[in-house]
Structure 1
Amino acid sequence: MYTNSLQDIVVTWSTRSSTNQSVVNFAEHYIHDKLIIVSGIWQRFQDGGKQARTQYIHKVTLTSLKPDTRYEYSCGSNLGWSAVYNFKTPPAGDKWSPSLAIYGDMGNENAQSLARLQQDTQHGMYDAIIHVGDFAYDMDTNDARVGDEFMRQIETVAAYVPYMVCPGNHEEKYNFSNYRTRFNMPGEGDSLWYSFNMGPVHFVSFSTEVYYFLDYGMKLLTKQFEWLEQDLAEANLPENRAKRPWIITYGHRPMYCSDDKEYDCDGNLETYIRQGLPLLKWFGLEDLFYKHGVDVEFFAHEHFYTRLWPIYDFKVYNGSTDAPYTNPKAPIQIITGSAGCNENREPFSTNLPDWNAFHSNDYGYTRLKAHNATHLYFEQVSDDKDGQIVDSFWVIKDKHGAYS
């Protein structure tokens, strides 16, 4: 399930056989004679593996939903129906306080954080989930059977709250076909890039992988960069920042990190997404995000959690010595790639850079609460420590816009 707008929800599921129908029955109370019946579309998906396994992906959009209302629904066809699930729509307008869980790098094996995320979701703690790339490890493995199993694993989360995603390097096989088909995000970027609004926040999702898998051509890279320029410029207009002051981005590979193992991210080398393609320095994102006043940037890829000081061009731009995240003078970056996978944890560099404010390689995930136009609250949950909060901080801004 994902959110297409504040009043639309899209339900997606798959079947092994063709049903020739894609139907969702829903209502505020799941009573047979009061159900609203909505039909959608389906597409045939053939995995690129040797067995060329086929399945059918179904997509139904529920529109004109009432704000702040709980609905119950089931999906299927005359050949069979799912269990009855439920979701709650957000309040009307922009002046409400969404809560989200955010993480990357969660696999079918060793998904350490999943049980706690399922429990949180069932307790109604989140308005949405953001998964910052790398799913299942990998969705194409064993002729996409691992992808099937992973989608079943996250059902107890994704059937109840919008599950928003971006691609990671582990989705690359067959030109990201498993990712593109299984996840139908809003917009026209083939789920590789899109944006959506939630309360006082404009969220922007993008693909870092268009910088690395150039065998598929340069077109995706140029199209995404043009789209990002346009989307961020519009979000940064004074009238839009008055309604939704916070701009938060998420993409898989980080601009900065402190892992000695990474060939392009050891704290000294220039990352492609930060500076642009090697030698040419085209399509770098750090200047673009700085120019349009992005407040917070989420990344994953590294199997740990790192909170950075406000940073631009390797320099720290804290708001003040006593309150570094109050009116910071550069974007704040968070790496949250420790949800759990079969590649286990990754070590930190022996000598951590000055811009590293806090780090942990406990399995876990990040929570975000957008309180209002001036205050964001973050905390890092440690699954190793039975749900203990190992890091928390506020970001406070009196004014939003381009950094000078």
Structure 2
Amino acid sequence: MTNKVFLFVPLFLFFVSTTWSQTPAGADAQRQFLESWSKPTVRPDRIILNVTEDLSTSVNVTWRTSIEVNEGILELAQATADPMFIKKSIQIEAKTEILDLRDVRVAGIRANYHSVTIEKLKPGVTYAYRVGDGTLWSEWFQFTTATEDPDEEFSFLYVGDAQNYILELWSRVVREGFRKAPDAKFFIHAGDLVNHAHREQEWHEWFMAGGFIHSMIPAMPTPGNHEYKPRMENTGNEEPSILSLQWNPQFTLPQNGPKGLEETVYYIDYKDTRIISLNSNDYHKVQANWVEKVLKENTKKWVIITYHHPMFSAAIGRDNDRLRKMWKPIFDKYAVDLVLQGHDHSYARGRVAPENNELDGLNMRDETGTVYVVSISGGKMYEIGGDWTELGAIKDRTAENTQLFQVITIQGDKLVFESFTPVGELYDAFELMKNGDGPNKFVERKGEAIPERVFSTNK
């Protein structure tokens, strides 16, 4: 059986990707059009907040301009109700680097990227910032640092692959997510943010689709397989795949991961929760050693891990046996609570038994080991599949042909997981509760959600 694939080809993209690219002149015309559509200017764009290791006292900001702007400035102030807060602002000089992709056919752009790590912030305070060069400025944006109370409730957002039809279809998901959880403290993107790693048009769509949301909720991205392509893709030459050329310049992420995997493997601590990003594309053994050390040293109550390729696949013929053998024993040993994944263009949520316990239906009804989730937010869909029971897990909830976003809330000793459709319907929900030194208590809430959706569902 083969995967069903939901295909939606907008006339605009069909025209650009086929008609113009059939001749050398057409390829030049395509490049010129895409350059004009996503070309940087002297005004700041692609302004994005990124997570730091400690969001109570710091945050990262990155933005883009044309190369005519050779320096960047971030202006920061503690936000107040009156507009005169700007009188108390300070200016921070940005680090500026040039990204020259004129030799890359699918990019063809030269731009300056500016980044600032804002440090020594006060916990639990709302700050306003804007970016520019001292003359041309963006609007003011706001963010709030984490408080010092480890048990104070907070929420964050998580989505699987944006990847396809990003501006057309992913935009409604990320915007509905913001509407549902406007106070989300960070936003996990579980890989395949775009379809072609170095394609400037797709990155431009990703930033446009999220708009000001990127500038107000710190992003925590992890790379998928589509963030890796040869530098000169589609040339017929056999070149190694490399991380998206835009990734490091446009994201400023923690540098606490293993050497060689900077800004793709890292962790953050938010109150009493440790969230770890892994890069499931390669270096599994290196990351196994690193993540075991990070988990061994962890003192936080909750542990959440995100990466792209699922431990237990949600689709047919996409098993990741090597990754599972390398990482799952570590996750079991340190009782990881929740794993958030993408890649399979469908939805699945399931569990494994607590370490050293047999997988027993009666016991698993009330307690659980690690919960694994695979989700999809973009417009390409696969048929659900894969038998988890043969791999020592149970699958509790699935979906086909359904765009989803997730809101995860930590309330002291309780974790609440809720998955929503782009029209605001509750699709899946469960709760985990800490139980002293024992395994987490599990509360199934999918009965509160809409019926399970498959390709034949008519909506």
* TM class, shorter-length: 0.7 to 0.9
Consecutive unaligned residues in structure 2, runs of 5 or more: 1-48, 232-241, 441-459
SS at match of 1:105: coil
Which residues of 2 match residues 231-380 of structure 1 at below 5 A? 231-235=294-298, 240=299, 244-262=300-318, 265=319, 271-275=321-325, 284-311=326-353, 317=359, 321=362, 324=365, 326-328=366-368, 330-336=369-375, 338-341=376-379, 344-349=380-385, 353=389, 355-361=394-400, 362-372=402-412, 374-380=413-419
Name the structure 2 match of 1:214: none
Aligned mates of 1:391, 1:356 — CA distance in 2: 13
SS at match of 2:246: helix
Which residues of 2 match residues 161-180 of structure 1 at below 5 A? 161-173=217-229, 174=231, 175-176=242-243, 177-180=245-248
Residues 96 and 200 in structure 1, CA contact (< 8 A), matched pair in contact too: no
1:345-391 CA-to-partner distances (Å, cap 9, x unmatched) read 1111287757211111211111110111x2111111012xx211011
Residues 132 and 250 in structure 1, CA contact (< 8 A), matched pair in contact too: yes
Q: Name which of 203, 226, 233 aligns with 2:289.
A: 226
Question: TM-score with structure 1 length normalisation?
Answer: 0.82
CA 1:179–1:88: 2 relative to 1, 3 Å: same
Which residues of 2 match residues 147-162 of structure 1 at below 5 A? 147-162=203-218
Aligned mates of 1:198, 1:73 — CA distance in 2: 22
Q: Name which of 78, 86, 98 aligns with 1:44.
A: 98
> Considering only aligned residues, what root-mean-square deviation do their CA atoms show, in Å?
2.6
Residues 100 and 129 in structure 1, CA contact (< 8 A), matched pair in contact too: yes
Is 1:185 paired with 2:242?
no
* Bigger Cα displacement from structure 2, 125-134 vs 92-101: 92-101
* Bigger Cα displacement from structure 2, 2-11 vs 107-116: 107-116
Residues 2 and 162 in structure 1, CA contact (< 8 A), matched pair in contact too: yes
Aligned mates of 1:162, 1:249 — CA distance in 2: 17
Aligned mates of 1:112, 1:129 — CA distance in 2: 18
Name the structure 1 match of 2:169: 112
Q: State the one-letter code of the partner of 1:296.
A: L
Aligned mates of 2:100, 2:358 — CA distance in 1: 48
CA 1:124–1:316: 2 relative to 1, 3 Å: farther
Name the structure 2 match of 1:382: 421
1:227-280 CA-to-partner distances (Å, cap 9, x unmatched) read 212111111xxxx1xxx2111101000011141242xx1xxxx522112xxxxx
Aligned mates of 1:154, 1:108 — CA distance in 2: 14
Aligned mates of 1:185, 1:82 — CA distance in 2: 22
CA 1:225–1:180: 2 relative to 1, 3 Å: farther
Residues 327 and 396 in structure 1, CA contact (< 8 A), matched pair in contact too: no
Q: State the one-letter code of the partner of 2:429.
A: S
Aligned mates of 2:381, 2:228 — CA distance in 1: 21
Q: State the one-letter code of the partner of 2:255.
A: G
Q: Name which of 378, 396, 400 aligns with 2:433.
A: 396
* Bigger Cα displacement from structure 2, 199-208 vs 73-82: 73-82
Aligned mates of 1:272, 1:390 — CA distance in 2: 31
Is 1:135 paired with 2:203?
no
Question: TM-score with structure 2 length normalisation?
Answer: 0.72
Consecutive unaligned residues in structure 1, runs of 5 or more: 211-219, 276-283
Name the structure 2 match of 1:217: none
Aligned mates of 1:305, 1:402 — CA distance in 2: 25
1:101-136 CA-to-partner distances (Å, cap 9, x unmatched) read 111210362553533532543662311110000112
Q: State the one-letter code of the partner of 1:368.
A: I
Residues 251 and 300 in structure 1, CA contact (< 8 A), matched pair in contact too: yes
1:7-43 CA-to-partner distances (Å, cap 9, x unmatched) read 1011111112242222111212453422121112111
